Amino acid sequence: MSFPHLPDSARLWIFGVSRPLDAREEERILNEVDAFLENWKAHGHPLAAAKEWRLGRFLFVAVDERVTPPSGCSIDALIRALTKLEDELSLELVGGAPVWYREGGEEGPLRRVSRAEFKEEAARGRVSGETVVFDLSLTRVGELRAGKWELPARESWHGSYLG
């Protein structure tokens, strides 16, 4: 299944890679995720899953729950596979709940900071309600398609850190 063919109701996970990757590392992650998804099952039933890679830093994984819903064990298997890649490539991909934003405008470079650092940046006036943020907490493909992933901080939960 390809990502564009997933329904809006598909379950979504978004992972941000902690550092830029070289071409070899990017290819390895994408190939290993493809191989994992080809064999991903819940209680012995194949999952209708797909991935997408955006901006050289974000991995989207989604499952059409109408076909087979993922189980807790199958989700754990995905996290284990990604954690293994983290260890092998010395990067962070899972957890940590970082804040992602664009520095200096809509086309600015990507920044990844802790929530505390984002709050400090807001207090210093370095980020504002206009700062473009990335919401990795989305859980449905339809939210992504509706533009709720990359948006001004004032329109996202990030706005609570702006004071």
Residue 39: pLDDT over 80: yes
Residue with tokens 């050289």: 56
Residue-wise pLDDT tens digits, 115-153: 999 999 999 999 999 999 999 999 999 999 999 999 999
Query: What is the H or E stretch that residue 141 is in?
Result: helix 141-145
pLDDT-based confidence at residue 17 (cuts at 50, 70, 90): very high
Residue-wise DSSP of 106-124: TTSPEEEE-HHHHHHHHHT
pLDDT recorded at residue 111: 96
Name the helix (H) or strand (E) containing 53: strand 49-54
96, pLDDT greater than 80: no
> According to the model, what pLDDT value does residue 106 have?
81
Determine the longest span between alpha carbons in the chain, in angstroms: 52
Separation CA 85–CA 110 (nearest Å): 22
Q: What is the mean pLDDT of the chain?
A: 95
pLDDT of residue 107: 85
Question: Contacts by 38-45 with C-beta closer than 8 Å and gap 24+?
Answer: 40/74, 40/77, 40/78, 41/68, 41/74, 42/68, 42/69, 42/70, 42/71, 42/73, 42/74, 43/71, 43/73, 43/74
For range 63-81, the mean pLDDT: 96
CA 69/CA 76 separation, integer angstroms = 14
Mean pLDDT to the nearest integer, 99-110: 90
C-alpha radius of gyration, the chain, whole number: 16
- Asked if the model's pLDDT at residue 163 lies above 90, the reply is no
